[in-house]
Structure 1
Amino acid sequence: MTFEEYVSSRGPALVRLARLLTGDEHRAEDLTQDVLARAYVHWRKIARVDHPDVYVRRMLVNANTSWWRRRSSRELATAEFAELPHRGDLGGEAAERDELWRMILALPDRQRAVLVLRYYEDLDDGTIAQILDCSPVTVRTHAMRALTQLRGRYGVPTTNGSRP
């Protein structure tokens, strides 16, 4: 597969993944463009790996994490989610979705990445582990902690640590 074929088939999905990771449409487009520019330079090497999409997704997740670590990027971009009307101004399902996205964006980077890769990209724990360069057990731990935190914030009662 050539680089151009890869970008035309997977580009929109990469932008969507970046948007879910960052919570900001413009930052997601910049992040994806930066990652694809770096991938282009090394495409021959990337194309030879078994799963180039896993490799590029890992680049995207790592680039998102690195962006926050750089001193020059300490400013906080205004997320589109913050510009949405308050919960009372939205209809029932839209208000719940808005509230849930605000809670997801407040999660630590790794937990948010696991939820996005699992529930929006529909990837299994093994593939997520490859992307995040960790073990499948770590993926499940991050998912469990994120879901526990979301349930607590959303007010879902749990009994003895079990699911409702």
Structure 2
Amino acid sequence: MALGDSSDSDFEELVAARWDSWARLATLLAGGPQDAEDFLQSAMVAVYAKWPRVRRADRPDAYIVKVLVNTIVSARRRAAVGQAKLKVVGSAQPWTDTTDDDVDRLDLWAQVRQLPPRQRAVLVLRYYEDMTVRETADLLGCSEGTVKSQSSDALRTLGRSGVRLSSGEEREPGT
């Protein structure tokens, strides 16, 4: 594919329009901004290599999100092999000027970052991206039952860690 093709401009337009949204998603899935941009760029390289086929898909954006999620989950899974998980006990700097809601959000985020990659992906897609169980399952390439069990396991883990979940963060299974 030569630079300057109309297919290149289609790719560039889609990337320009969706980059910020994908970057936020990558940050949530990666556990922070440090690796998020690298993962996003890796996903874009993979998509660009297949762009002539991807652009003909019904929903190229959904395909790109799937590549991004799979890139991050796979990398995190490989990185976790052989590494002991460290639990962060506290912060070196005291908190100032924060409300209880801010502290709760930060505590929740710290705990979400400790979840296994697939559980984190399910929570981010279901509750941040507001996807249904079916949409999440389609994106992750798994069954709806797997999405429900991963979500349940993740929420149970968060609950055991002492994180308060408000009723607004809970959903009926299957919705």
Q: Which TM bucket (shorter chain)?
A: 0.7 to 0.9
TM-score (ref. length: structure 1)? 0.80
Match of 1:54 among 54, 62, 67: 62
Task: Give 3-state SS (helix, strand or coil) of 1:50's partner.
Answer: coil
Equivalent residue letter for 2:23: V
Match of 2:103 among 82, 95, 112: 95
Aligned pairs for 1:1-164 within 5 A: 2-70=10-78, 85-86=93-94, 90-154=98-162
Q: From the CA coordinates, give the structure whose radius of gyration is larger.
A: 2
Distance 2:92 2:19 in 1: 27
Distance 1:92 1:120 in 2: 21
Contact 1:54 1:127 (C-alpha < 8 Å) held by counterparts: no
Structure with the higher fraction of residues in helix conformation: 1
Identity rate, percent: 38
Contact 1:88 1:95 (C-alpha < 8 Å) held by counterparts: no
Equivalent residue letter for 1:54: A
Task: Give 3-state SS (helix, strand or coil) of 2:55's partner.
Answer: helix
Deviation readout 1:111-148 (Å, 9 max, x if unpaired) = 11011001111111111111111011111111111111
Contact 1:20 1:116 (C-alpha < 8 Å) held by counterparts: yes
TM-score (ref. length: structure 2)? 0.75
Residue 78 of structure 1 corresponds to none
Residue segments in structure 2 that go unaligned for 5+ positions in a row: 1-6, 84-89, 166-170
Q: CA deviation at 1:110?
A: 0.8
Residue segments in structure 1 that go unaligned for 5+ positions in a row: 76-81, 158-162
Contact 2:104 2:164 (C-alpha < 8 Å) held by counterparts: no
Judge which range, 125-134 or 84-93, deviates more: 84-93
Task: Give 3-state SS (helix, strand or coil) of 1:21's partner.
Answer: helix
Structure 1's 60 and 103: CA in aligned 2 closer, same or farther, altered over 3 A? Answer: same
Q: CA deviation at 1:68?
A: 3.0
Equivalent residue letter for 2:31: G
CA RMSD of aligned residues (A): 2.9
Residue 160 of structure 1 corresponds to none
Q: CA deviation at 1:87?
A: 5.7
> What is the number of equivalent residue pairs in this alignment?
152
Q: CA deviation at 1:26?
A: 2.5
